[in-house]
Amino acid sequence: MRSDGRSRTQLRKIRVVKNYTKYAEGCCLIESGQTRVLCAATVEEGVPPFLKNTGNGWVTAEYGMLPRSCSSRIKRNDTGGRVHEIQRLIGRSLRSVVDRGQLGERTVKVDCDVIQADGGTRTAAITGGFIALALALKRLKKQKVLKNIPLKDYVAAVSVGIVEGELLLDLNYEEDSRADVDMNVVMLGRGDFVEVQGTAEREPFSKAQAGQMLTLAQEGIQDLIRIQKRHLGALLP
């Protein structure tokens, strides 16, 4: 049994509040246990220079932490390497499910702001960011700006890790800080991976362990996508 009472292969409790703020074209507050991330999608006409006149749209993400989202205060507006790494991961993950030709020359920016951090903020940002993105795209369809919702699949993410020899799903902060291996996995609704990032924080891992982690992550992400579907209703044909 884990410190918060979960079994080894159990996700934390997920709570999704759609349209948590009123201005964003798509928005949700996602909570995964004590981790809370506000995801807000902004739609802007136009694309970055490298896409001009290609007919394709763009999806990008930004990630931030409120200064006191952590146990000790972090400097405001700190955008070091970790932040860049995370927002690039979120952006690639969300782009993997968007039909950018159908989107047309528009940019969707998904802001993921961590209100409270207890491990797994980047995976919560992907899972919640997809909901915010989908809500914004649904609205564009409803407003008849787009004919179809330009999504090819669902996408969600979870972490898995090895802590004291045990394989665990969805690590909280306390588990993450003791983990030998930490792996973030991003997967589509159809079960294929778009990102696998495994890091041996203390002990290297074998190919067999890599396989076990991927299997466990698959099960967790299937649950997350079920939750996404519940909140988003019919989205894909």
DSSP H/E element including 106: strand 106-116
Edge-to-edge strands of the sheet including 14-18? 14-18, 26-32, 35-45, 106-116, 58-65
Taking the complex as a whole, the smallest distance from the CB of residue 128 to its own copies amounts, in Å, to 14
* Site membership for its own copies, residue 101 (CB under 8 A): no
* Site membership for its own copies, residue 15 (CB under 8 A): no
Q: Rounded to whole angstroms, how far apart are CA atoms 177 and 173?
A: 6
Residues 65-94 interacting with its own copies (rule: CB under 8 A):
66-73, 76-77, 79-82, 84-85, 87-88, 92
Region label for 55, one of left (φ > 0), alpha (ψ between -120 and 50) or beta (otherwise): left
**Which of these segments, 7-15, 53-61, 203-211, 228-236, binds its own copies (CB under 8 A)?**
203-211
What is residue 104's three-state secondary structure?
Answer: coil
How many CB atoms neighbour CB 82 within 10 A?
12
* Site membership for its own copies, residue 173 (CB under 8 A): no
Taking the complex as a whole, the smallest distance from the CB of residue 185 to its own copies amounts, in Å, to 10
Contacts of 192 (CB under 8 A, 6+ apart): none
> How many residues touch its own copies (CB under 8 A)?
61
Q: Rounded to whole angstroms, how far apart are CA atoms 16 and 131?
A: 9
Residue 182 vs 233, nearer CB to its own copies: 182
Where on the chain is the footprint of its own copies (CB under 8 A)?
Answer: 21-24, 27, 34, 36, 38, 40, 42, 44, 62, 64, 66-73, 76-77, 79-82, 84-85, 87-88, 92, 96, 109, 111, 113, 115-116, 183, 187-188, 190-200, 204-207, 210-211, 214-215, 218
